[in-house]
Chain A
Amino acid sequence: MSSLELYPPDEKLPRGEHVAFNLYMITALLLFVLMMLLGLTMRMTQAEWAPVQAAMFYKIMTMHGAGMVGTMSLASTAVMWFFLRKYVSLHLWAFVSNYVLFMLGALCIIWAVFVGGFASAWTFLYPLPVHSMGLWSNGAAAIFMIGYLLIGVGMLLFYLDAAAAIIRRFGNLGRGLGLQWLFRGEIDPNHPKAVVASTMVIIANTLGILAGAVVLVMCLVNAYDPEIALNALVVKNLIYWFGHMLINATIYMGVIAVYELLPRYTGKPYGISRPFLWSWAVSTVFVIIVFPHHLLMDYAEPRWMLVMGQIISYAAGFPVFLVTAYGVLTNIHRSGMRWKMPSMLAVLALFGWAVGIVPAIIDGTIRVNQVMHNTQWVPGHFHFYLLLGVLPMILTLLYHVVGSRRRAPVNSGVDRTGLFLYVVGGICFCMVFLYAGHLSVARRFAAHLPEWVPSDRAGSIAAMVLILGMLLFATRLIVGLLKAPADVDPAHRTG
């Protein structure tokens, strides 16, 4: 590719795109706040500060898990769309269809949980959805799964449109990923990082969504005809294959915002390189085959899969540490960085991702998993890279866009206060989970042993501080998004 054709020539959002983008992001911001409040309710219940019964606790837990994963997917899809549309020609109908199907799916899930009483956790491990001991009906389980299917179909539509657009522009997905330059040849410096990352996500998450569709249909069949029994281990493998890729894809979609925006604030080029292309190529494979690290305590799993789960967990750290995090650090080092909300959030995002995967990788060791699996160590590490990684990636783009509507980066004292509360609350919240995990405090318990309560109280307080920061962000951003676009790049303005 000798010259880069841009569609649109800059990042401006024409009328239809503007409305669609606002719908995605305002919905996501509202859902993030609501889901955080549900999470806080859970922590306060464990802290014995909220009188929530076990049945309601597990409904809230199911809603919080499904809601957060879904919202992360929704918002990070909008990040990918925002940048990918510059380099390939995407159809707005596919982007809008994803939103509509997401909303329909979300309504099904909300109905299943709060009306139907469905509380099988977001992972819906077979056969719990059809073995509720009378607390919910098979119909409620089916509605929940249909909700997932609708969301999956929407994402698939978007990915297929994006895949077709990349193939039209670059010839095939391999060339979008930059595989032609892995061993030889002069790398096109204009090859967009957004295309590389999007291609990886399309390949991996399409497989994951298809696996999810297969297992959902199997479970639906079983719900209506229990005589057709399923193999619990096969179902678990499919669920974690799907679930792992779905949530990992949010990071790989979100990081596009960092790649695209950070260099505008550092003023330093952030070029594409062979290590970068290698890291995305191997990450594509790793993210597809790493899922057995969720099944390390299933001793019936073939031994080679457990070994693969451990080794690939370690290997997956290499691209993150040595290419993405290291690349960001070298880009900001001695750059004369302009510290505005987007650039601060971008650095926070990479910090959260890189630091958060340390406990995750350690937990991928079989011997460690034997004492840490399903303790609060697990929410400790995934909250680290979701709360302090993916969400700041999304906020990076939002602050940038809102800045473009004000002709300057948003950087007020209120925003900086929000960031301070978010970072302090977020780090404390995650570290309390990890600390409790090392004390063997179980996850997903509606009521805790008396000796576990102090950490629950510390976690609750940290969550309140974090949510206060998020409320400030959400308010500022929603108001900002609703303003008319000015269509300038705020990174190149002073303010």
Chain B
Amino acid sequence: MILQNVIWAITLTGMGLVALGFIYAITQAGRPADAAEAARANRSSTTLRRGLFLALLLLSVGVTWASLRHFPIPLQHEPSQATQVVDVVGHQWTWDVSQTHLTAGEPVEFRVTASDVNHGFAIYAPDGRIVIQTQAMPGFTNKILYTFHTPGTYRIMCLEYCGVAHNGMTAELDVAAPGDKS
């Protein structure tokens, strides 16, 4: 399951539902209601708004709990259990990566910083989708903990605009299958 596809489906559903609300109201807009109909519509509108409030509240609380229960960002000042550690420094316009050969199935800790300006450290999977990212900032080290599940060549790209050669600031990571020493 690709996370971006799930996000895309949820987004289209949400946007579609809002659009349906507008389409419904617009199709009804041309027919004026008489006093009795207006009073009835007013009552049902208040009830519907309360229902929507409750639904949105439950949805927000549920998603917050589900998405933050296991906090998606590792603790930054505590040692991790990673068996592979990679130091990354962003420069205008290259990546200095301490280790580019990694093994799938074992957690990797990326310690990301920058020597000059802000950069964005994003790892693209062989299928072209981002799997994880953080900012590379001068004066700070941001720590990512990530386990590659699929072997292959991953591409590092800069996702924070950093000057004229920003889009050419790339590097590669070779991720081998567990037990593959080639």
Contact = CB atoms under 8 A, between A and B. Distances in A.
Contacts of A236: 118, 137
Majority-rule SS of A interface residues: helix
B153 interface: no
A300 interface: yes
B102 to A, nearest CB: 19
Interface in A17-60: 54-55, 58
Contacts of B60: 314-315, 317
A131 B117 contact: yes
Contacts of A359: 11, 15
A440 B125 CA distance: 10
B139 A232 contact: yes
B138 to A, nearest CB: 5
6 contacts: A299-B74, A359-B11, A368-B7, A371-B3, A443-B159, A445-B166
Interface string A290-333: 00000001111001001100110011011001100110011011
A355 B18 contact: yes
Contacts, number: 224
Majority-rule SS of B interface residues: mixed
B126 interface: no
Contacts of A297: 120, 133-135, 142
A133 B92 CA distance: 8
B82 interface: no
Contact of B73 (A55, A299, A321): A299
Interface residues of B, number: 74
B32 A334 contact: yes
Contact of A362 (B11, B76, B165): B11
B174 interface: no
B128 A321 contact: no
Interface of B: 3-5, 7-8, 10-11, 14-15, 18-19, 21-22, 25-26, 28-33, 37-38, 41-42, 45, 49, 52-53, 56, 60, 63-64, 67-68, 71-74, 76, 92, 116-118, 120, 122, 124, 128-135, 137-144, 157, 159-168
Nearest to A358: B14
Given A299-B73, A358-B15, A359-B15, 6 more contacts: A125-B160, A125-B161, A298-B142, A314-B63, A354-B22, A438-B11
